[in-house]
Structure 1
Amino acid sequence: MNIVLRELRSYRKALIIWSVCIIIFTAMAFAKYAGFAAMGSEANELLESLPDFMKNAFGLSSLNLTEIKGYYSVLFMYYALITGIHAVMLGATIISKEARDKTADFLMVKPITRSSMITSKIIVGFIDVLIINIVTGLTTIVFVNINNNGESIIGGLINGMVVLLIIQCIFLSLGLAISSFTGKAKKATTISTGIILIMYFLDVFRNISDKLDFVKYITPFSYFDTIKVLNGNGFEALYIVLSIIIIVVSIVLTYTNYQRKDIL
């Protein structure tokens, strides 16, 4: 418990900064939505004039951005990318930073096992991504209520936050696993951030080309259809199972590698 409290305090400032950034991003995004809504059909006509590859890449082909549900379905991908980067960077540093900050020796002389230390760190990581998830969800609900003139989509937004939490946990666990292989915080962060950006662009390219449909099994960004999620039927069993497998395997690798790694 002492390690959990210590880590929560050490990440408090970063957590506040990430939360404020998400609130600002949401405020700016919905200010733009107000502009789209005011333009009415002109906004959709403007989007129709875009090249097909661009509309497909960003999921704009069949959406009405003047309606809150259509706009949020596009916005959700940016939430997934932002919170995914936070989660993977957190996973990449939360354990390996002990070697960077020269505090690993301090922890190792405490009457705790290495497994207990890793478990405490993982708990802190989950708490952090959960807080970011809640901040994102509550902020989105507030701005949706302010801007929504149609039927309520609060139930769909809650489903979206569940999906977002799954994606966050996937990237948190991947960051942990990558960190367990590299052992260096800076290197782990660089690799982890690179991987999440590659996965994001793989999803973009999949939307452009039918030949890349297999990519939907590789990148978590392709696991959930936002419109289906908002309607309450976007949780396909295959992708839930894939998500669980990635998380479990990554966590097991983290424990296994740190048990035999010299982190001093």
Structure 2
Amino acid sequence: MIHVFLFELRSLARGFAVAAVALLGLLVLFVGGAYPIYRDAKPQVMAILDDFPPQFAAAFGVSDDIFTFAGFYRFSYLYLALIAAIAAGSWGLGSFSRERRAKTLDFLLTMPVGRGGVFAAKLFACLTGVAVVGALYVGALQLVATAVDDGAGVEAGHLAVASLAVPGVAVVFLAFGALLGVALRRVRSVPGIATGLGVMGFATASLPGLTGEDSWRAIAPFLYFSQDTALGEGRFETGWLVAAAAVAVCCFAVSWVLFVRKDVRAR
């Protein structure tokens, strides 16, 4: 089992590195670079935003407090979560479909390791990537906040809680990717499917704002981790946190059942 785990870590290492660079780069560009510009050019930016319809603001997370650090981070969160969702989805999809795409699944399953052990090794390797990239992101956000905050931002503890939403979203989309990697008969493009998953997550995040119905959050994984509650109260809403955990656990459980029971197709 340890050999499968180490092999998966090596295979996914490049993906982990690319995701870390993309996520931290967007964080520095958006929050570290764009926020001071927005803050210092408030009248000009307001004049531009006033020309856009309210639906635009709802769809892209633009709110009246975008000129505060908390408001701008809340706006940026959707795009940061999009990167995390695409990356984690590709890790799950790529790891759990690798042998089938390479037509080596029969060799893997004849190793002296049970199918459950193989599944666990792959899952732990993917979760290791989420943990490492998530830790880098949480630390980087604190540094960026210290560098650009004007003193009227959120408490450090509240920001630390809010930052955990990104690795939280990553775990949910890792579960989606793992399920698709096991369930799909053929995976033609890992990046293509993972990007589709992330874009769907981004699109559904706009539904509560567009419709005014909070119930749409049930199909919007990005919103399971409310930035309003995290930044304002230093916590996530318990019900939605349970929903996120339930979705992830259910996807992993179904993936495990399919993985251990699925027959190897003849070539």
- For residues 233 and 145 of structure 1, the distance between their equivalents in structure 2, rounded to whole angstroms, comes to 18
Indicate yes or no: 2:109 matched with 1:108: yes
Equivalent runs, 1:18-167 vs 2, <5 Å: 18-29=19-30, 30-63=32-65, 65-151=66-152, 153-167=155-169
Shift in Å at residue 189 of structure 1?
A: 5.7
* Other-structure match for 2:254: 253
Secondary structure, counterpart of 1:96 in structure 2: helix
Shift in Å at residue 191 of structure 1?
A: 4.4
With normalisation by structure 2, the TM-score equals 0.89
Do 1:69 and 1:153's aligned partners in 2 also have CA atoms closer than 8 Å? Answer: no
Aligned alpha-carbon RMSD (Å): 2.1
- For residues 122 and 218 of structure 1, the distance between their equivalents in structure 2, rounded to whole angstroms, comes to 24
Greater shift in the superposed pair: 182-191 or 18-27: 182-191
CA deviations 1:31-72 (Å, max 9, x no partner) are: 111211221444344334432111122222332x33211111
With normalisation by structure 1, the TM-score equals 0.90
Indicate yes or no: 2:185 matched with 1:169: no
Shift in Å at residue 194 of structure 1?
A: 2.5
CA deviations 1:127-184 (Å, max 9, x no partner) are: 1111221222222222221111215632122112322222211111111112221143
* Other-structure match for 1:203: 205
CA deviations 1:12-39 (Å, max 9, x no partner) are: 1222122112222222212111211221
Secondary structure, counterpart of 1:159 in structure 2: helix
- For residues 214 and 27 of structure 2, the distance between their equivalents in structure 1, rounded to whole angstroms, comes to 31
Gap change, CA 1:187 and 1:40, over 3 Å in 2: closer
Q: Which runs of no fewer than 5 residues in structure 1 stay unpaired?
A: none
CA deviations 1:228-255 (Å, max 9, x no partner) are: 2112355222212211211111111111
Aligned length: 262
Secondary structure, counterpart of 2:21 in structure 1: helix
Q: Which runs of no fewer than 5 residues in structure 2 stay unpaired?
A: none
Identity of aligned residues (%): 22
CA deviations 1:85-138 (Å, max 9, x no partner) are: 111111111111112123323322321001000000000111111122122222
Do 1:175 and 1:188's aligned partners in 2 also have CA atoms closer than 8 Å? Answer: no
Gap change, CA 1:236 and 1:23, over 3 Å in 2: closer
